[in-house]
Structure 1
Amino acid sequence: MNTFTMSEPCELRPIRFMELLEFDGWRIKVYGIAYGREEPRSELMAAARVLARRAFPRPACEDGRYGVGYLGVHDGRGSNFVFTDWWADENELHHHVFISPSDDPEALEEFTATGVSACIWDMKVMCFERDTWVKKVLRNPDGPDLQAYLETGLEGEY
């Protein structure tokens, strides 16, 4: 017996590389994902930038960190999701999740410890970033190229 029901059909959402955010030794690729619009609302983007400045550890390049990663800003249907990810120890991704009600973008709270990880759209960014890290850093025949990694972004409807 099928007890699974959906509140609405799963539609494509735009995923956009928004900017390269640089602060305190960090170089962070910023992605926007949006439900029912082309990109996240400006107030959510601003709240995510503020959050990034406190969520990424300091110093950027210590304890196996390289000072590079990405920030996902997902203006979702019922909630806003922001995830902070950074690379360390060659092949490890550190992932943290923050959520706020859709009507209060600045009320982002950390939910990492709850086990919430990513929705299917967030996972598209994570999969792309994983593949880019492998191609540009870990398996690059010319050696690790962090700049090439930072210059490669995801764009499209997924």
Structure 2
Amino acid sequence: MNPLTYQARPCKYTHTYEQKGLSCKSYLVWSEMYSKDELPDISRLDSLINASLDSWDHPNDHAAAFAITHLANDGWYFLISRWNDANMLRHRVFSVNSNTEQWALSSLSDSSIIACIWELKLMMKERDFWVDEVLEAPFEVHESRRISNYLSKCFEGTL
């Protein structure tokens, strides 16, 4: 079990994954026990995004999502969230087995866990980008432009 303490963690936007008709912003969050030299490269992050998309389509999905790879003290986690309908967020959470050549995603044993405090803060930033760029955009701005504007907004800093 983690201790009841809080220490801010860095968050880095890495890139936007574009494949399978989806644009997915990719973020890295890491605890103090990792250095920037130990962070996974973009090809590894893309493999996690790609693996998480298997059998995950809904007719009301937008082609916009965000993913969080979190190198935490108690393991590595991968979260992906996809915008659905006007104001819904579909979400998946996995643990990452990075001890093998081919990284593997596993569903959490407790499927009711959705995110930790650092991930929730980043999700709130993404929520604000969605509201600002998509939901509060002037009516005459076409949906594709709204989504493009949303995808151009990324967070980097501490959580």
Please give the range of the TM-score, normalised by the shorter of the 2 chains: 0.7 to 0.9
The equivalent of 1:42 in structure 2 is 40
The equivalent of 1:126 in structure 2 is 123
CA distance in structure 2 between the partners assigned to 1:53 and 1:107 by the alignment = 11
Contact 1:70/1:86, CA 8 A, preserved across alignment? yes
For residues 2-151 of structure 1, what are the structure 2 equivalents within 5 Å?
7=3, 9-36=5-32, 37=34, 39=36, 41-42=39-40, 46-56=43-53, 63-100=59-96, 106-111=103-108, 114-141=111-138, 143=141, 144=143, 145-151=146-152
The equivalent of 1:155 in structure 2 is 156
| DSSP 3-state at the match of 1:136 | helix
Q: Shift of the alpha carbon at 1:139?
A: 1.0
- Return the TM-score normalized by structure 2: 0.82
CA distance in structure 2 between the partners assigned to 1:24 and 1:153 by the alignment = 21
Structure 2: 5+ residue stretches without partners = none
1:63-106 Cα shifts (integer Å, max 9, x gaps): 01111100100011111110011001111100100013675692
Contact 1:17/1:31, CA 8 A, preserved across alignment? yes
Relative to structure 1, the CA distance from residue 20 to residue 38 in structure 2 (aligned partners, 3 Å threshold; closer, same or farther) is: farther
1:91-124 Cα shifts (integer Å, max 9, x gaps): 1100100013675692420228620110011001
Structure 1: 5+ residue stretches without partners = none
Relative to structure 1, the CA distance from residue 35 to residue 100 in structure 2 (aligned partners, 3 Å threshold; closer, same or farther) is: same
- Return the TM-score normalized by structure 1: 0.82
Runs of 4+ in 1 over 4 A off after TM superposition: 57-60, 101-105
Q: Shift of the alpha carbon at 1:51?
A: 2.6
CA RMSD for the aligned pairs? 2.8
